[in-house]
Chains A and B, each alone.
Chain A
Amino acid sequence: MPLVTPGIGLVFWMLVSFTIVFLILKKFAWKPILKILKEREENIEKALKAAEEAKLEMQKLQANNEQILAEARKQADAIIKEAREMKEKIIAEAKQQASIEAEKIFATTKISIENEKNQAMSEIRHQIAEFSVLIAEKIIRKELDYEQQKTYIKTLLDELKLN
């Protein structure tokens, strides 16, 4: 029956043309297509893996950042606290120093005032004595003559000698 009897001509042409198309497609189509598909898949896989890694890294970094931030905040707090303490200390010290200094100044001022005062007093006294002497001289010069003076002095000298 012709239906199930392979024709020799068709077998020949099929053999030849299928072999040729197989070889051409193998070399110029399938190999590059399969290679590129494989490469692309590998690339995608690699990219996905890299993305996953990047994500993990990011998370780690973020955690790190937070830690660093927290630490920094803590440090800042500590610094601020320290600064405040230092400020207070400085202020206290300054106050103390100032009061001591003030006291010192006060004391010296007091002494110098006393001195000045004493000096002024002695000067005043001196001046008053001089003025008194002058006034007294003037008064005495007016009331006493030489002889009276002489006797008075003599008595004074005597008094001195007696003392």
Chain B
Amino acid sequence: MIEFNKQLCIFLILVVLFALPVSIPASEDTTQHAVNEEKFNPGEFIIDHILDAHEWHIATIGHTHISIPLPIIVYSYKQKQWHVFLSNKFHHGHQSYNGLALITEGELKGKIVEVDELGNIDIHAQLPLDLSITKNVLQIFIIIGLLLWVFLSVAKYYKENPSAPPRRLASWVEPLVLFIRDDIALPSIGHKAYKFMPYLLTVFFFIFFANLIGLIPVFPGGANVTGNIAVTMVLALFTFAMTTFSGNKSYWMHIVNAPGVPWWLKIPIPLMPIIELIGVFTKPFVLMVRLFANIAAGHIIALGFFSLIFIFGSMHWAGGYGISILSVSFAIFMTLLELLVAFIQAYVFTLLSAIYFGMAVEEHHHENTH
């Protein structure tokens, strides 16, 4: 489902190639590139989508890539200066620009590297600091724009009609806000929940919106934001930082000297404190991995179903058509499942964050039981 247009175009190309035998020798004769295009590599195709990119690929018609060039913001350690330019200067990795090149193959795929005067990749030079507005960054900006538009207008509605029942956007937002407050924050954190509500709401709606937008196959959506480990890492770091900074005395006491645990687990080898300390870091780590793995896997499975069409199609044209029915129905099913997953993962991340905050601010009154 994701990047549907891209697949549709490849599919159409294949249809044209098989239906019009005349065009086959023509395309075979042209370039090496065309041969590569014809040979479909599902692994590469899927990973290309899952990873970040310096351009927003929309479609490939024939051998022309239609994509939105994105700004490259790079600090070159070798040249000791900042470079800001649009990614179309690289011509999809075919050219170097300002002593920089975009790698399209191999281990450094998608990375920007230094090149020497001859245009060869400078292996010894340190990789430049890449702060480009990549596809995922732009997608994050789009999500944030959407978040701001939705919730600022909802806030405006509430300010204007404080006692009126919610209407339009507010009626859509209110059940979710109440759900987060009454079913996530209040049971997990207790009376201190209101302190954490803004963060929980922001993180919930960010993940939820990002997941949903990730399911849209064409331009304003489709990037694999929440299935990117950098994004989930930042989210998990926020939760970690908030848990750590709001941890009260009893939270730290539980880590250093857990009550109700036999003394020989603490002295002479501080087994329990070590385990507890590891737990402090594994909690956000698990948050990071769970969200990333779930969303990335969803994208991979959906793309896998589409890849099947082209794998079978490359064997025989009838195979492609035949399997497409099955693949599309499975992909539709997966997309519907992903709609559910989009909500569940946002919910789980928020719920676990709330539980960690609850642990950090909980007041323990027990003496010898745990």
Give me the interface of A with B, judged by CB distance under 8 Å.
Answer: 2-15, 17-18, 20-22, 24-26, 28-34, 36-37, 39-40, 43
Task: Report yes or no: A29 in contact with B155, Cβ–Cβ below 8 A.
Answer: yes
Known: A10-B134, A10-B230. A2 touches B109 (CB 8 A): yes
Query: Nearest Cβ in chain B — how far from A70, in angstroms?
Result: 43
B34 lies within 8 A of chain A by Cβ: no
B159 touches A36 (CB 8 A): yes
Interface positions of B from 128 to 165, Cβ below 8 Å from A = 129-134, 136-137, 140-141, 144, 147-148, 151-152, 154-155, 158-159, 162-163
Is B50 in contact with chain A by the CB < 8 A criterion?
yes
Closest to B194 in A: A34
Contact present for A10 and B177 (CB under 8 Å): no
Listed in ascending order, the chain B residues whose CB lies under 8 Å from chain A are 47, 50-52, 73, 109-110, 129-134, 136-137, 140-141, 144, 147-148, 151-152, 154-155, 158-159, 162-163, 173-174, 177-178, 181, 194, 197-199, 201-202, 206, 228-231, 233-235, 237-238, 296
Which of B133, B134, B155, B199 interacts with A33 by CB under 8 Å? B155
Contact check: which of A2, A18, A39 meets B234 at CB < 8 Å?
Answer: A18
Q: Which of B52, B147, B206, B237 is within 8 Å of A7, CB to CB?
A: B52
Interchain nearest-CB distance for B92 vs A (Å): 18
A34 & B181 in contact (Cβ 8 Å cutoff): yes
- Quote the shortest CB–CB distance from A16 to chain B (angstroms): 10
- 26 CB < 8 A contacts A-B: A4-B229, A6-B230, A8-B131, A9-B130, A11-B233, A11-B234, A13-B133, A14-B234, A17-B137, A17-B141, A18-B140, A18-B144, A18-B234, A21-B144, A21-B206, A22-B198, A24-B148, A25-B151, A25-B198, A28-B152, A30-B201, A32-B159, A33-B155, A33-B177, A34-B194, A37-B181
B197 to chain A, nearest CB (A): 6
The number of inter-chain residue pairs (CB within 8 angstroms) is: 122
B159 to A13, Cβ gap below 8 A? no
A22 to chain B: closest CB distance in Å?
A: 5
For the complex of A and B, list the 5 residue pairs with the smallest distance between their C-beta atoms, beginning with the closest.
Answer: A6-B230, A29-B151, A26-B198, A10-B230, A30-B198
Are B162's CB and A39's CB within 8 A?
A: yes
Supposing A34-B194, A36-B162 touch, asked if A3 and B51 sit within 8 A by C-beta, the answer is: yes
**Contacts of B50 on A, CB cut-off 8 Å?**
3
Chain B residues whose CB sits within 8 angstroms of the CB of A21 once the complex forms: 144, 147-148, 202, 206
| CB atoms of B229 and A13 under 8 A apart | no
In the complex, what's the smallest C-beta–C-beta distance from B131 to chain A, in angstroms? 5
Point out the residues of chain B lying under 8 angstroms from A40, CB to CB: 162-163
- Does A13 lie within 8 Å of B131, measured CB to CB? yes
Chain A residue nearest to B110 in the complex (CB): A2
Known: A13-B131, A34-B194. A28 touches B155 (CB 8 A): yes
> Interface of chain B, helix or strand or loop or mixed?
helix
Chain B residues lying within 8 Å of A36, measured Cβ to Cβ, are: 158-159, 162
What is the bound-complex CA distance between A155 and B243, given in angstroms? 168
B230 contacts across to A, CB distance below 8 A: 6-7, 10-11, 14
Which of A13, A28, A34 touches B197 (beta carbons < 8 Å)?
A34
- A34 and chain B: residue at smallest CB distance: B197
Chain A residues with CB under 8 Å of B144's CB are 17-18, 20-21
Task: Report the minimal beta-carbon distance from A40 to chain B, rounded to whole angstroms.
Answer: 6
Please give, as numbers and ranges, the residues of chain A lying within 8 Å of B181 by CB-CB distance.
Answer: 34, 37
Q: How far is the CA of A12 from the CA of B133 in the complex (A)?
A: 10
Known: A25-B202, A29-B155, A32-B155. A3 touches B229 (CB 8 A): yes
A25 CA to B146 CA, complexed, in Å: 12
Shortest Cβ distance from A21 into B: residue: B144
Q: How far is the CB of A38 from chain B (nearest CB, A)?
A: 8
Which residues of chain B have C-beta atoms less than 8 A from A26's C-beta? Answer: 198-199, 202
A116 to B32, CA, bound (A): 168
Question: In whole Å, how far is A154's beta carbon from the nearest beta carbon of chain B?
Answer: 141
Known pairs A10-B52, A36-B158. 4 more at Cβ < 8 A? A8-B130, A11-B230, A18-B206, A36-B162
**CA–CA, A39 and B162, complex, Å:** 8
Q: A6's contact among B110, B148, B206, B233, by CB below 8 Å, is which? A: B233
Contact A18–B131 (Cβ < 8 Å): no
Pick from A10, A22, A34: contact of B202, CB under 8 Å: A22
Residue contact A13 to B137, C-beta cutoff 8 Å: yes
Do A3 and B296 have beta carbons less than 8 Å apart? yes
Q: Are A25 and B130 in contact (CB under 8 A)?
A: no
* Complex CA–CA separation, A75 to B177 (angstroms): 62
B47, B133, B201: the one contacting A3 at CB < 8 Å is B47
Closest to B136 in A: A10
The answer to whether A37 touches B174 (Cβ under 8 A) is: yes
Using CB atoms, name the residue of chain B closest to A14: B234
Distance of B148 from chain A, by nearest CB (Å): 6
Closest A residue, CB atoms, query B292: A4
**A5: which B residues are within 8 A, CB to CB?**
229
